[in-house]
Structure 1
Amino acid sequence: MQGVNVFENGIGYLHKCLELYNGGTGFLVMYLLAVLFILIKGSERDRKIFLPGAVMLLVTVYNPIVPVIVDRIFDVSSEYYRLFWIAPVIVLVPLVAVELIESARTGSAKLITTLIIAAAFVLGGNFVYGKGLDIAENIYKIPNELIEISDMIHADSGTEYTRAFFEYEYNMEIRQYDPKMLLCVDREDYIYAVNYSYTDDMLGEDAPPVNVILALLVRNQKVDPEAFLNALDATGTQYVVLTKGHPQIRTVRNAGLYEVGRTATHIVLKYDLKEPADYSLVDYSQAEHRFSTRRLK
């Protein structure tokens, strides 16, 4: 998750997640104040609805020790932040805001209360355009250079489908742009490689071949060139796209890959597979949908 993981950050992981995905701890503070308001001034009904959930959230989701403990059993680094928008949090804060405004007796008091609450919401986060406004280079909202690389690879391969290795950002973007560009590495394997190194057992003969590719090109671990080429053959990967300053360019060139093109910042390298890869995909066009009209009758 954006390079943030429990293993490296420990109990500081929660705070880093809040900074990255909530714009800081402002909204959490508002939630705590809302819980305090319900506890002191709320109706019996509101207390029954919101207080048990608040206790549970503060003991679990918003407890900095919990992700450290849970991560020993499950890898929560890539999903934990989703819990920040759980229903009780996003419902209680605006509910209490409305109750505070409604509790004001005069029109001017309501206006002042509204302005104060609005200011708290605004100042409690980060301005969305605080670092400027990024304007997409094209209608696909990906770098023009990636489109150029995609066209370059398809033109060179001469086949409808081909498989390639991309570095992390391009790997995540190309899969949303070009369905005929098959990826060497899937999302979950890449997220693991960004956060963790590979042990010798994970690079052994019985290990998934993609581990060898990730160890060399993502973790910059020392890998036997022959093992790297075998991994490319096993995965059917013909193309490797690297930034011009990538530390392993010389390694992959020495292993036998050769340049077929380059852009302003990237180099496209090709590997001649020992046997042509079969990129045929499953044809679902004739498959009967499980929710067929026959079942609905």
Structure 2
Amino acid sequence: MAGVTIEELGLKFVKVCMKLYWGSWWYPLLFAIGLLCTLIWGRKKSSRIFIGYTAFLFLTVYNPIIVKYVIARLDFENEYYRFIWILPVIPAIAYYGVTFVSAFKKKWLKAAAVLAVLGVLIVSGNPLDKVVKNFALAENIYKVPDELIEICEILHENMSNPDGRPRVVFDASLNNVVRQYDAQLRLTIDRNASIYRAGSTVAGEFNENSRRYKRQKAILDVIDYQIYDHPKKFRNALGKSKTKFVVVLKNEELQAFLLKNGCEQIAETESYNIFRYKGLKKT
């Protein structure tokens, strides 16, 4: 987790990560209550699996001593929060909720139990507007913007057989999303390079002096930050990375820069311009 280190927190690292991850949600408490009920009254093997699974996790990846002396050596503290995902809080709460409702025989009691469970979940959770900003319903079954699908279709139409799986530069608005939709496109800009250039520490240790990062930075400076001071570095970066296409939000100044530096516009959507990089003609 960003800003949380084992070196600084020591044995408190796991506790702090859990607190940051769950925030003001009370679901872990519901999970703990469910485990306690399972220990006291649970007879089904299907419910006891949560006991064994949770005990194993707290003896291993949630064990402060193991985390301090093993995870730290593996240099995994920035990614440690992913271990919290495997704690079966949500599946267990769903199971306990259904078990509670099923315990009643009469329909009106079941209905009342459903309302009670829903009420507890609502009160103990977080309103969506506090978790997700600018929330909008998915535009399609792929859970990506419709324009991205249109852009990918255009790119495939303009690929020649020798291109194989061409490298494509997408600006920040699409670069991380396209990975969810089209695996045939190879991205020039790595996720970590993008967030590191943006000033994030989540990328962990990053070799900013490597040739690979310098090339990506030269491209990011132009497409995401509209810094046009080094056009030759930009062209070299596209050429050395074997980039074939550039996709950016419409911007007249950026469009003019790309056209002057070896890119030709091949298509556009409502919000994006799509370019093919051909390089400058030698004179």
TM-score when scaled to structure 2? 0.58
* Residue 170 of structure 2 corresponds to residue 166 of structure 1: yes
Match for 1:268 among 248, 251, 274? 274
Change (3 A) 1:227 1:104: same
- Residue among 2, 7, 26 paired with 2:2: 7
The one of 217, 240, 246 equivalent to 1:240 is 246
**1:117 equivalenced with 2:117 (yes/no):** yes
Give the count of matched residue pairs.
Answer: 260
> Counterpart of 2:254 in structure 1: which amino acid?
I
Aligned partner of 2:145 among 143, 146, 150: 143
Report deviation, 1:235: 1.2
Alpha-carbon deviations, 1:248-287, whole Å to 9, x = none?
A: 9389549724451544322334432479xxxxxxxxxxxx
d(CA) in 2 for partners of 1:253 and 1:266? 13
Q: Is the 8 A contact 1:203 1:212 kept in 2?
A: no
Distance verdict in 2 for CA 1:253–1:8, change over 3 Å: farther
Assess if the C-alpha contact under 8 Å between 1:242 and 1:268 holds in 2. yes
Query: Partner amino acid for 1:271?
Result: Y
Aligned to 2:261: 256
CA contact (8 A) 2:231 2:261 kept: no
- Aligned counterparts of 1:198 and 1:227: Cα–Cα separation in 2: 26
Aligned equivalents of 1:59 and 1:50: distance in 2?
A: 14
User: What SS does structure 2 have at the residue aligned with 1:121?
Assistant: helix
**Bigger mean CA deviation after superposition, 176-185 or 55-64:** 55-64
For residue 32 of structure 1, what is the aligned residue in structure 2? 32
TM-score by length of 1: 0.56
* Residue aligning to 1:134: 137
- What's the RMSD between the two structures over aligned residues? 5.4
Paired residues of 1:146 and 1:174 also in contact (CA < 8 A): yes
| Per-residue Cα deviation, 1:196-222 (whole angstroms, up to 9, x for no partner) | 4899952344x4565434653587597
In 1: Cα distance, 2:92 partner to 2:272 partner: 48
TM-aligned CA distance change 1:149 to 1:103, over 3 Å = closer
Give yes or no for contact 1:165–1:185 (8 Å, CA) kept in 2.
Answer: yes
Distance 1:199 1:251 in 2: 36
Q: Deviations over 1:12-60 (max 9, x none)?
A: 76455436xxxx6232121122234456x34699999655754665687
Give the structure 2 partner of residue 227 of structure 1: 233
Shift of the 257–65 alpha-carbon distance from structure 1 to 2, 3 Å rule, reads farther
Q: CA deviation at 1:166?
A: 0.4
| CA apart distance, 1:239 | 2.6
SS at match of 1:171: coil
User: Is the CA contact 2:18–2:84 (under 8 Å) kept in the aligned structure 1?
Assistant: no
**In structure 2, what is the Cα distance between the partners aligned to 1:97 and 1:199?**
43
Tell me the distance in 1 between the aligned counterparts of 2:234 and 2:59: 46
